[in-house]
Structure 1
Amino acid sequence: MSPESSKSPAAASSSLAQRKAPSEFDARINALLAGQNSDPFGILGPHPVSSGWGIRFFIPWAAEASIVFKNPAVSPAKIADAVKLRPEGFFEAVWPSNQPTAPEPGSYKIQGRTHYGESFEVFDPYAFPFFLTDFDLHLIGEGRHYDTYQKLGAHLHTVAGVAGTRFAVWAPAARRVSIVGDMNHWDGRVHPMRPRGSSGIWELFLPEIGEGAVYKYEILGPNGNLLPLKADPYAFRSELRPNTGSVVGDLEAHQWNDSAWLEQRQQTNWLESPISIYEVHLGSWRRVPEEHN
């Protein structure tokens, strides 16, 4: 009797399960496609492979795609075709190169066609670095960062000559946070954000997203539950009711229209003007467990 045939059914079943277990690479892809991946930079963007650099991206609406390296010293541009590793839209393009470092942010774009034959060209968000410093995270964690509004929220920014918007939000109990909006068809799997260690802060730079873009955050809760979409508490603008989306805004370019009110305010005698007083009884805000509120 052979050693294999002498194994018990339970041992044989265990051995078969081990052989069929997905690799770490496949497990990361599965988590991304299921909206469960909390470390998107661990699978997306440029990564070293045996023959150079593998550039991975997830675009569900893409039927085909390629990577175009726009190096002024090289004409025409270098092109690396991408292989669709998963039918859901997970691609990998291998750039044969001896370069020891990853391609520079903004040095390449993703070109492709949708399932409807429409062409598109976008930068890879996962080729860009983080922007919040360790000192920022330290001060925010202590509650002593007095310019938090300049760090969290949505801010127009230019990285490596590419204009876009950097997003940051504090969600310490979240398993995954994503930016959703028209730019990704409100699909939370497309732009998951980078977690910054144990700080509870998530951040991501989205190239070519400018003023006026409507967005929200999609959050996977601590128990793996998908929460309702959340507006940005640090947003500079928001949609007009009944819509509730946050809007990327530029305070420096905002045109104020309150000059008439400011002039009237200087001429108002506030001591003789009517005022409105609001009062709240704190006791009425207490919870009553018996009423399940």
Structure 2
Amino acid sequence: MSWFSKVRNAIPFIAKRETEDNLWHKCKNCQEMVFLKEFEENQSICPMCDHHGRIGATVRFVQMLDEGSWEVLEAPEVQSDPLKFKDSKKYADRMKTAMADNDYPDALTNASGTIQDHPVVMGVQEFGFMGGSMGLAVGAAFVNGVNHAIDKKCPYIIFTAAGGARMQEGILSLMQMPKATVAINQMRAAGLPYIVVLTDPTTGGVTASYAMLGDIQIAEPGALIGFAGQRVIQDTIREKLPEGFQRAEYLLDHGMIDMVVHRKDLRDKLASVIDYTMSGIKAA
């Protein structure tokens, strides 16, 4: 053994240092590098340009619901691969990867809790789970959340984030659109508010169904909200679309949503909306 090998082997193990990848966050809007800890402590909002970053279901529950008040509702069981779909990869394998990379078994998760002591059931779509795509599991979770809200006589709040219907489930994914609409009608028949918070991005079949059927429509600043992509629309109508088309502020100016609310103000705003819409209704 050479002297160099002896010296090298005698050096004690030193833990791997934190690297640039886990110390910094690069803003997708202004491209500035921000300390990851600072970014997360700022509710995943860029301190330079105020861009609202995408966040997952667990973080959203922690930010919106009263501490210690909430518990995640059990996800309904559905057929996991109804069409035995395969493209460049088996759908079953894609699902295994998505479940390994996320906290919950599919793209929509519900929790029951309170917002400033107001009972709510809250659903959050996880864009990190196959683009938040809507399939059988999302449809079943949505209906389960609505039914739980009706039982508790409280609002159902949904935070949307999706690329649309899940292509690997074909027509079955599209069937979730009318299924969700029926559930929303049941909420209205019960006299309970259905509140939608549109986050970046909310597109496709989700926009064409439950994302745009709220009694109150709220959006986070700068959120992309639309059905078809901007390039598809431009190629279809052969016209250049206006600046900011399909962004939350544009939709507010044109009457498609009720308000755009900064993430730091969202919890207080939801509490005010619940207080107003639930006036005279006693939760179970």
Q: Which has the higher helix share?
A: 2
- Look at both structures and tell me which one has the larger radius of gyration over its CA atoms: 1
**TM (normalized to structure 2)?**
0.31
Q: Which has the higher strand share?
A: 1
**TM (normalized to structure 1)?**
0.30
